[in-house]
Amino acid sequence: MSFDSLSYLLFLPAVLLLHRLCPPRGRWIVLLGASLFFYASWNLPLTLLLLAVIAVSYLAGRLLARLEKPRQRRAVLVFALALCLGLLLYFKYFRFLAGALAALLGQSWKLWDVIVPIGVSFYTFQALSYVIDVCRDPARVERHFGYYALYVSFFPQLVAGPIERAERLLPQLRAGAQGNAEDLRTGLRLLLVGYFRKLVIADFCGPLVTAVYAAETPDGSAVFLGTLLFSLQIYNDFAGYSEIARGSARLFGIRLMRNFDRPYLALGFRDFWRRWHISLSQWFRDYLYIPLGGSRSGLARRLGATLLVFALSGLWHGANWTFLFWGLFHGAGLCLELLFRRKPIDQPWQKALGMLLTFLAVSFAWIFFRASSLPHAFALIQCLFSRWDLSAGLALLGITATDGLWLGAALLSGGLLHRLSQKDARPRDMTLVWLLLCIALAWLIRLGQGGENAFIYFQF
Amino acid sequence: MGLLQNAAGPLCIYERSDMSLLHMPAALLLYLAALLLTALGAVRKKGLALSYLGGLCWAGGSLLAWYGGTPPRELLAVALLLLLIEGLRMRREGGP
């Protein structure tokens, strides 16, 4: 059940109604039942994997809270991490790692297919953050299994984040609050913004990007425009998902963290990662970068830790060399900033130039993210730096004047969407009416094209 | 206006729809009225009624355009423009 399917639009009000009818003490049961149903609607047997991760991390948390000897605690932590990460490695990376090993040994192995469970990277990381937090501070343990299971499986953020921390989400789930009128208004507003981003902007860019990335030897201008469109698509697709997740949770009176903050206005790679997929960046910072030494260690160690964190962050997105390269590209960018950027940027023209250069560098890196393989990515880069024929590029993309108008409006709407997703936004009725009308029309266009466009981050 | 050739045949980069808005004066006129009223509504202090009127003009124009066979993509492009103009009100009224 995807957020942009009709079944979700029926599921969400039904759960909200049940939640409102239920007394506060039993609300977690409604939400847990709905979350498991939501996940089981993708794949029933793989719900067992989700339950296994919940059970392992819950038991590890209880044990960590009870044990006092550091050696025993460390053993429990290592065991829980190994089990959860082992499941993640098997389901997501088995074919990739075995294939790489076979290539290294010059062998050809017949490997069986493994279905990658949807959202496995997200809920495993959320469970791991809880176990590590309890190991650091046993007072953070959650003794109620139901609340804990709901924390890992809460349906708005189960499949593609934000990766919430227990200290933020668990108290809200325990309180069993129901959304007040303000929560309902804000939730609906966030839902509208999210659906607008997905249906009106991301789904519009999708076919244009595919036309370029599926072509054998596209023109340099087509690669350039297609990659810029992919930057627009992936941002609005993922930020749209996050806003729908926040909006859905807010209807129940639960506040999820903001996952994006206008990332394409970033000044440099460091700033970009403060604004892009914030929950994942913070996870890697708190549970990997800082334990590796963080900003207080020497320069060489910082550089090494940065590269390692970004290599793993790239691989987190998928079992493919392209993601590893994408992560390393960002890691290298950050290392260069660490080495050479000394003075803060003050002048407005410097800021504008810095933003433009960062956007172009980040967009360039998206080529690795979007390409099907490393040779494909390098071939596209070769095309990018060879012949440029704008008319041929536009013909490949098939952009009309209407599309141009649409794209311009989509770009300009970024500021409006950002304002609407702020907590104290006060939109007048007509803004929301226009948003709703645009979403309805985009939905009609999608129906006319006869297909669904899955959220890009669902595959991770 | 240049004609380009691709695998699918001749392709005009400016318009390729069945029945463009540009060929429907009545719908176009209603849309222009919608743009004007929404813009006026957005810049005036108590212009919400004008914005609503703009919305009605858009609805009328869309009905005509739809009946005339204009693809929904063009209707959406106009709705997007109106959304942006309406968004000016939020900026003027001091959003976050």
Q: What is the pLDDT of residues B22-49, one digit of tens each?
A: 677 888 888 889 888 888 888 877 777 8
Residue B5 CA, chain-centre distance (Å), reads 29
Return the pLDDT at B4: 35
Residue A33: Cβ within 10 Å count: 13
Q: What's the CA gap between A423 and A190, in Å, rounded?
A: 10
Contact A405 B77 (CB under 8 A): yes
Contacts with A437 from chain B: Cβ below 8 Å: 79
- Strand ranges (DSSP E) for A143-289? none
What is each CA distance from A398 to B7, B9, B73, in whole angstroms?
11, 12, 14
Q: Which two tokens stand for residue A301?
A: 């160690």
Sort out which chain B residues have CB atoms less than 8 A from A444's CB and list them: 72
Mutate to test the interface with A, among B1, B21, B73 (most CBs of A within 10 A): B73
Residues of B in contact with A428 (CB under 8 A): 48, 51, 86, 89-90, 93
Contact B80 A448 (CB under 8 A): no
Catalytic positions of A: 317
Residues of A with Cβ-Cβ distance to B17 under 8 angstroms:
400, 402
| Residues in chain B, pLDDT under 70 | 1-22, 91-96
CA distance B91 to chain A (A): 8
Whole-angstrom Cα Rg for chain B:
16
| A405 contacts in chain B (CB < 8 Å) | 77, 80-81
Nearest CA-CA distance, residue B76 and chain A, Å: 6
Nearest alpha carbon to residue A176 among A4, A384, A28, A22 = A28
pLDDT in tens, A115-143: 778 888 889 999 999 999 998 888 888 88
**CB-CB under 8 Å, B83 with A409:** yes
pLDDT at A427: 62
Low-confidence ranges of chain A (pLDDT < 50): none
Q: How far is A435 from chain B (nearest CA, A)?
A: 7
Q: What is the pTM of this model?
A: 0.84
Q: Which residues of B touch A (CB under 8 A)?
A: 2, 4-6, 11-17, 38, 41, 48, 51-52, 55, 71-77, 79-84, 86-87, 89-91, 93, 95-96
Q: What pLDDT, on a 0 to 100 scale, did the predictor assign at position A458?
A: 63
Rounded to a whole number of angstroms, the distance from the CA of A403 to the nearest CA of chain B is 8
Say which residues have a Cβ less than 8 Å from residue A112's Cβ, sequence separation at least 6: none
Q: Tell me which residue in B5, B48, B95 faces A426 most closely, judged by beta carbons.
A: B95
Contacts of A416 in chain B (CB under 8 A): 83-84, 87, 90
Is A419's CB within 8 Å of B93's CB?
A: no
CA distance B73 to chain A (A): 7
For residues A119 and A3, what is the distance between their CA atoms, to the nearest angstrom? 13
Q: Where are the alpha helices (DSSP H) in A252-298?
A: 269-275, 278-284
Nearest to B58, CA basis, from B4, B95, B89, B21: B21
Amino acid, res. B75: L
Nearest residue of chain A to residue B95 (CA atoms)? A425
Distances (CA, A) of A123 to A85, A118, A332, B66: 11, 10, 28, 45
Q: Which amino acid is at A86?
A: G
Q: Which residues of A touch B5 (CB under 8 A)?
A: 395
d(CA B74, CA A409) in angstroms, rounded, equals 12
Tokens 């303000």, residue located: A182
Nearest-Cα distance to chain A for B58, in Å, is 10
> Which tokens belong to A14?
């039904």
Structure tokens at A407: 């794209």
User: Which residue of A lies nearest to B49 if distances are taken between CA atoms?
Assistant: A430
Q: Pick A428's closest partner by Cβ from B13, B82, B89.
A: B89
Q: Which residues contact A204 (CB under 8 A, 6 or more apart)?
A: A403, A406, A407, A410, A442
Size of interface A-B (CB pairs under 8 A): 117
User: Which residue among B14, B41, B72 sits closest to A444, beta carbon to beta carbon?
Assistant: B72
User: According to the 3-state scheme, what is the secondary structure of B16-57?
Assistant: CCCCCHHHCHHHHHHHHHHHHHHHHHHHCCCCHHHHHHHHHH
Q: Answer yes or no: do A396 and B6 touch at CB < 8 A.
A: yes
Q: Which residue of B has its CA nearest to A447?
A: B72
ipTM over 0.85: no
Which residue among A394, A402, A420 sits closest to B73, beta carbon to beta carbon? A402
